[in-house]
Amino acid sequence: MTITASATLFNKNLRRNISTSLPVPLYHQLYSVIKGFILDGSLHNGDKLPSEQELAEIFDVSRITAKRAVNELAAEQLVQRARAKGTHVIYKYSPKPVQAPLVGVLEEIDSIAESSTATVLECALIKPPQGIAAEFNLGRSDRLFHLLRTRERAGAIFGYFDSWSAGVDMPETSDIFINASRHQYFRETGMRVSHVKQTIGAVSASTAVANHLNISPGAPLLQLVRRSFSQHGDREELVDYLIALYNTELFQYQMDLKLD
């Protein structure tokens, strides 16, 4: 573990997390603090823990207490002790996806549509680019429903939406997407979504997107990639692929989650 990481995580301010007034043994309190750092990714696989003597001094506990805390971590295979090499983290952190009700996701989509107005830039049944075709496992001649839009609220354009959908017929008019979500039309035409995967990240605005959002090229954007699946027997099929780009000065993606 680097000196910087050690100084950031293990400093004497952590003493407030360890107290003899608590009904829990000191070694278990210390073990819980370090375990929390490991499980949340603050300590990475391969990082070196402070020595037992250093832990004792940082947390103002005995060396025996520090040793027992580290022994507990080793027993859970979170760390590994090696003579003359110290104690290193062996747990491999991987972020767990947030589980949310599908109904809530779809309600959120409809809510955004109802509170804003869309400008349809393209509405067509066309052959997709190779990357999109690969997502859907399409043949060379297969086509998808492509919808390209921007959305605005109170005169400010906050989002750019590029979507591709399978098994969807062309509507009589693209005007239906001005004040309603695509999913409303999909439901009306028989598409059934059983599973949604969302990935949120950050990207820089391309020149084309920047022009549509009235921002400078290279400006930061919040990117949401949403893959929607439909259940067919014992397998799922991708039916909709959406890339949503949001102007971070006008839009925030907020989640309000409760622990079970």
Spell out the domain ranges in the chain: 3-89, 102-247
Reported as a single tens digit per residue, the pLDDT across 141-192 is: 899 999 999 988 878 888 899 999 998 889 889 998 888 778 788 877 777 8
Reported as a single tens digit per residue, the pLDDT across 100-138 is: 454 444 445 545 656 678 899 999 999 999 999 999 999
3-state DSSP assignment of residue 160? strand
- What is the bridge-based pairing of β-strands 79-82 and 86-89? antiparallel
CA atoms lying within 13 Å on the CB side of residue 75: 7
Distance of CA 244 to the CA centre of its chain: 14
The third-level CATH classification (topology) of the domain covering 102-247 is Chorismate lyase (3.40.1410)
- pLDDT at residue number 63: 94
Exposure string of 221-245, with b = 16+ CB inside 10 Å and e = fewer, is bbbbebbbbbeeeeeeebbbbbebb
- pLDDT at residue number 94: 66
- pLDDT at residue number 243: 93
Cα 212 from Cα 113, distance rounded (Å)? 18
> What value does the mean pLDDT take over residues 85-108?
64
- pLDDT at residue number 73: 93
**What is the pTM (predicted TM-score) of this model?**
0.57
84 versus 105: the higher-pLDDT residue is 84
What CATH number was assigned to the domain covering residues 3-89?
Answer: 1.10.10.10
